[in-house]
Chain A
Amino acid sequence: DAKTTQPTSMDCAEGRAANLPCNHSTISGNEYVYWYRQIHSQGPQYIIHGLKNNETNEMASLIITEDRKSSTLILPHATLRDTAVYYCIVGSSGGYNKLIFGAGTRLAVHP
Chain B
Amino acid sequence: GAVVSQHPSWVICKSGTSVKIECRSLDFQATTMFWYRQFPKQSLMLMATSNEGSKATYEQGVEKDKFLINHASLTLSTLTVTSAHPEDSSFYICSARGTSGSPAKNIQYFGAGTRLSVL
Contacts and interface: CB of A to CB of B under 8 A. Distances in A.
Contact of B34 (A38, A93, A98, A102): A98
B106 interface: yes
Given A94-B106, A98-B49, A43 B111 contact: yes
A50 B7 CA distance: 31
A94 B46 contact: no
Contact of B46 (A87, A100, A104): A100
Assign chain A's interface to a size class.
20 to 34
Interface in A54-100: 87, 93-94, 96, 98-100
B57 interface: yes
Chain A binding surface, main DSSP class: loop
A46 B109 contact: yes
Contact of B113 (A42, A49, A87, A104): A42
A78 to B, nearest CB: 20
B6 A99 contact: no
Interface string B95-119: 1000010000111111111010000
A103 B110 CA distance: 18
Contacts of A93: 105-106
B60 interface: no
Interface in B61-82: none
Contacts of B43: 87, 101-104
Contact of A46 (B6, B91, B108): B108
Contacts of A101: 36, 43-46
A33 B91 CA distance: 25
A49 B107 contact: yes
B51 interface: yes
Interface of B: 1, 4, 6, 32, 34, 36, 43-46, 49, 51, 57, 91, 93, 95, 100, 105-113, 115
